[in-house]
Amino acid sequence: MDHHLVPLDPDHPGFRDPVYRARRDAIARIARDHRHGDPVPDAPYAAEEHGVWRQIRATLDPLHERLVSADLLRLARTLDLPTDGIPQLALVNERLQAHGFSMEPVAGLVDARIFLMHLGRSTFLSTQYIRHASKPFYTPEPDVVHELVGHAASLMHPGVAATSRRFGRCAAEATDEEVERLTRVYWYTLEFGLVEEDGQLKALGAGLLSSVGELQRSVEDPTVPRQSLDLDEVVERPYDPTTFQPLYDVGPGLDGTLAMLDAWLDAGGWRLPSAGIRRR
């Protein structure tokens, strides 16, 4: 019988690694026992896991310089996460809180409504564990690389922070079906969106920034389908989190994309039509 606090699927890279699983359980307990407002305790990372972080950063950082939105690059330099080991969330919070956001630990994936509603309270729910060392460029679930390399710096951007809070406020009053619509738009923009900057494609979404393969594919592969961002179309499009995206949406720069999102959220584009009339 599996008595682990964190269940893993049999095909998970760390399923048969008892040492990795013990650390996953210890990190999950941090999330379980944490209370809002308290400092986040340090996660017990092993030397091997710090090595995974170094390997990923050594590969991703040069790609970011070439492929990521200029504003996000600037913010990442300001956040200045260490490259020689996994930063603890307490350290990240010391740098984020001056910009109005903080990170709190969760053991793994959380319900979409809960995640979005916390954004409305200027809190980003973050995992702390790192992917298994046997597959440093693959993770079947969001890990600390995704949270910190993908999301953390963007939360320092006033526009991204404000739009994130808007998503949270909308989720607080949405039906379950409307939360799914909000999640789709968040997915195709702040997770996997592209933008056009000075006539060039650049990555915006955190899922792209934290994935070596998908970052290169989404921006540089000429055979990959892309289209101009249309939120009324995106809101109706389901997504598959288990594979590369089959289509990427391109917004009009970071500020232009945020302006589109804000207008759409404020106008209630996420609401389900009722009797042919969209609720306000």
Confidence tier at 37 by pLDDT (50, 70, 90): confident
Residue 3 has pLDDT above 70, yes or no: no
Are the C-beta atoms of 94 and 40 separated by less than 8 Å? no
Q: How far apart are CA 103 and CA 149, in angstroms?
A: 13
**Residues 58-72 pLDDT 10s:** 999 999 999 999 999
**Residues 243-265 pLDDT 10s:** 999 999 999 999 999 999 999 99
pLDDT for the residue numbered 279: 44
pLDDT for the residue numbered 278: 46
Question: Tokens representing 170?
Answer: 């909308």
pLDDT for the residue numbered 275: 38
Q: In what helix (H) or strand (E) does residue 277 lie, and over which residues does it extend?
A: strand 277-278
For residue 263, give the nearest of 276, 251, 245 by alpha carbon. 251
Q: How far apart are CA 26 and CA 121, in angstroms?
A: 27
The DSSP letter of residue 200 is: E
pLDDT for the residue numbered 90: 95
**Residues 186-198 pLDDT 10s:** 999 999 999 999 9
Known catalytic residues?
A: 146, 151, 191, 210
**Residues 112-158 pLDDT 10s:** 999 999 999 999 999 999 999 999 999 989 999 999 999 999 999 99
